[in-house]
Structure 1
Amino acid sequence: MQHALVYKANALVEASYRLSLYEQRIVLACIAQVRRNEPLTDQKLYMVSAQQIAKDTGTKLGTAYQHLKAASERLYRREVTLHEAPNGNGHAKVKLTRWVQTVEYRESEGIVALRFGTDMVPYLSQLSEQFTRYALADVATMTSSHGMRFYELLCQWRDAGQREVSLEWLREALQLGEHYPNIRDLKRRVIQPAVDQVNEHSPLWCKWDQRKTGRRVSHLVFTFGEKASKSPQKSRKGKPGASTETKDKNATGAIYGIPMAVIKTKSKPGESYEDAALRLLTESRHS
């Protein structure tokens, strides 16, 4: 997992769905096996083992075995609502589909094998623009599925340093339904714990504030930056759907807080400076 990267179309990052912690771990572990620039068919089988999950997340093997089977059974029934087409190719009709078309649990081996749904393939493969990328290790030790979702939403605007979302949109994206109708409960049970997960387990630091429309809290404003930087970057406005392929350089010529001189020295043949920086950042966190 050390260098495994997750690529998702921004439309999938902003889709409406709900996955449990272990369902997220299964899905992300399989997505990290997809090569962004290679064709993907809905017939390819991806596998993840309880042993791999336990090793990557720092949990006990018995715990991983226990949760993996139940999570794989639920995953087959999980739906996702997509609002945009991949690669910024115009707007799609609201599409309700499933993450996977097939899930197998091989109990004797402790392995889950899955095939992504046909409609999901374009949001995971051959992504040329408007996609979000991050290291699987960035979220591996998180203990909250909401924390994983928040991290993805921040990574989508990684170069901007700030993101504002409406409460209505956030409720829909997380499929909270009638849960936490009181804003104080929402902040206490969802928002603050998710931000705490980002701050504790990911390469980003994050703080948040609220904005009111009239007397009612209507929006949340997240300010964030790279922990590897000596000081937080000044926030810049970004536009929705901007590709995270844009270089995240600071005034000293660094990417993700790593000096360009180091990146150039340690980059591998054929590896872009952005990919090299992300790899070095992941290595530094696990060294």
Structure 2
Amino acid sequence: MENPPMVYKSNALVEAAYRLSVQEQRIILACIGQVRRDEQITDEVLYSVTAADLANLSGMAVSDAYKELKEAALRLKRREVRLTQEPNGKGKKPKVMITGWVQTIFYIEGEGRVELRFTKDMLPYLTDLQREFTRYALSDVAKMTSAHGIRLYELLAQWPDGHREVALNDLRRWLQLEDRYPSIKDFKLRVLDPAVAQINEHSPLAVTWEQRKTGRKVTHLTFTFGPKKPTKAAGKAPRKTTERRKGGKLSEAEMQALARPGETWEQLHARLNQTSAEVD
């Protein structure tokens, strides 16, 4: 069985300020899922995605995916990303880099296919990631119809311990909402509640949240999340899974299936070893 496409992003990119439509995000994430992590990548590599690919991922009709793919491709070239670069020395201030996602994008008429090259500035945030990165399966977000839901899922996947507090101003900046939905009531109605509902419906996570006030003003949102509870099966679970974990014979695909969103390989190995010890 073919391994599911995985999305790898540096944490700086996850917390970058940008706004993409759902279809634009699907194109970008489908191409990120094709980036090789076992070899040097240059900005000359072309990544390809078709309307059929997107329809298969999202569950939408191919005809709808065909139309949206072309419209999204035309917009992607103009989309900007604002990335904060931390200073390398004392006394230096952070720099904000404004760059684009793609340097070149092709739409192939009659094939319903897009080809794109990532910008040279974007590649370090997608390749050669040894630390401080977020990883999840493309299928975790592919069926979401909320662009904010996809972004919020990534922000939660950064924290595999299942708890994250986010300053409301930071979340507004990351989503590039500027002055939209200034009241917390409108923000919940238009952004937060739909995003959480999408995560709970379409992703492997179950999420709850609460607000925190500073004085009388809501300033922070606290999210609690974890893997959805599997449907209980009749009888006792077979011991074979645990024995295979102890023997270290799990394939990469099986490891990816067992990994929690945002969990590194080292954390996954430690958790599985602990589980095996507890069973014994």
Q: TM-score, normalised by structure 1?
A: 0.80
| Residue 4 (structure 2) pairs with residue 23 (structure 1) | no
State the Cα deviation string for residues 46-77 of structure 1 (Å, max 9, x = none). Answer: 00000111111110011001100110010000
Q: In the alignment, which residue of structure 1 is the partner of 2:63? A: 62
Which residue, 269, 277, 286 being the options, matches 2:258? Answer: 277
SS in 2 for 1:267: coil
| Residue 80 (structure 2) pairs with residue 79 (structure 1) | yes
| Residue 222 (structure 2) pairs with residue 221 (structure 1) | yes
Q: Is the 8 A contact 1:2 1:137 kept in 2?
A: no
Rounded Cα–Cα distance in structure 1 between residues aligned with 2:197 and 2:95: 35
Deviation of 1:38 (Å) = 2.4
Q: Is the 8 A contact 1:266 1:276 kept in 2?
A: no
After superposition, the CA RMSD in angstroms is: 2.5
State the Cα deviation string for residues 14-48 of structure 1 (Å, max 9, x = none). Answer: 00000000000000000000123422111100000
Q: In the alignment, which residue of structure 2 is the partner of 1:126? A: 128
SS in 2 for 1:207: strand
The amino acid across from 1:161 in the alignment is G
State the Cα deviation string for residues 132-189 of structure 1 (Å, max 9, x = none). Answer: 000001111111111100110110002x210011111001000001210111000011
Q: In the alignment, which residue of structure 1 is the partner of 2:118? A: 116
SS in 1 for 2:130: coil
For the structure 1 residues 266 and 77, does the alpha-carbon distance in structure 2 shift closer, same or farther, using more than 3 Å as the test? Answer: same
Rounded Cα–Cα distance in structure 2 between residues aligned with 1:102 and 1:132: 26
Between Structure 1 and Structure 2, how many residues are aligned? 248
For the structure 1 residues 89 and 225, does the alpha-carbon distance in structure 2 shift closer, same or farther, using more than 3 Å as the test? Answer: farther
Q: TM-score, normalised by structure 2?
A: 0.82
* Structure 1 residues 1-287: aligned runs within 5 Å: 3-84=4-85, 93-158=95-160, 160-228=161-229, 260-261=242-243, 263=245, 267-268=250-251, 271=252, 274-275=255-256, 277-278=258-259
Rounded Cα–Cα distance in structure 1 between residues aligned with 2:88 and 2:33: 24
Q: Is the 8 A contact 2:3 2:253 kept in 1?
A: no
Deviation of 1:190 (Å) = 0.2
Q: Which moved more, 1:121-130 or 1:35-44?
A: 35-44
Identity %, equivalent residues: 55
Rounded Cα–Cα distance in structure 1 between residues aligned with 2:184 and 2:7: 32
Rounded Cα–Cα distance in structure 2 between residues aligned with 1:184 and 1:74: 31
For the structure 1 residues 101 and 167, does the alpha-carbon distance in structure 2 shift closer, same or farther, using more than 3 Å as the test? Answer: same
SS in 2 for 1:40: coil
Rounded Cα–Cα distance in structure 2 between residues aligned with 1:92 and 1:129: 20
Rounded Cα–Cα distance in structure 2 between residues aligned with 1:11 and 1:229: 32
Rounded Cα–Cα distance in structure 1 between residues aligned with 2:24 and 2:149: 14
Unpaired runs of 5+ residues, structure 1, are: 231-258, 280-287
Deviation of 1:191 (Å) = 0.4
Q: In the alignment, which residue of structure 2 is the partner of 1:242? A: none
Q: Is the 8 A contact 2:213 2:220 kept in 1?
A: yes
Unpaired runs of 5+ residues, structure 2, are: 232-240, 261-280
Deviation of 1:115 (Å) = 0.3
